[in-house]
Amino acid sequence: MKEGCVLNRGTRWLVAGLAGLCLPLGACTRHQEAHEAHHPVEVVRIEGSEINRITMTEQALERIALKTDTVRERQMTRSKAPRIVIPHSSLIYDPKGQTWVYTSPEPGTFVKQKVDVEYVEDDLAVLMEGPPVGTVVVSTAAAEVYGADSGVGH
pLDDT in tens, 88-117: 999 999 999 999 999 999 999 999 999 999
Long-range contacts of 95-100 (CB under 8 A, 24+ apart): 100/146
Element (H, E) at 9: helix 9-37
Looking at the predicted structure, is the pLDDT value of residue 13 above 60? no
pLDDT at 24: 52
Q: How far, in Å, are 49, 53, 150 from residue 154 at the CA level?
A: 22, 16, 9
| Mean pLDDT of the chain, nearest integer | 84
Nearest-CA neighbor of 54 among 64, 44, 63?
44
Q: How far, in Å, are 24, 36, 98, 151 from residue 33 at the CA level?
A: 14, 5, 37, 20
Whether the CB-CB separation of 92 and 130 falls below 8 Å is answered with no
Q: CA-to-CA distance for 88 and 100, rounded, in angstroms?
A: 11
Question: 139 burial class (0-12, 13-18, 19+ CB within 10 angstroms)?
Answer: buried
pTM: 0.74
Q: CA-to-CA distance for 86 and 18, rounded, in angstroms?
A: 59
pLDDT in tens, 36-52: 447 899 999 999 999 99
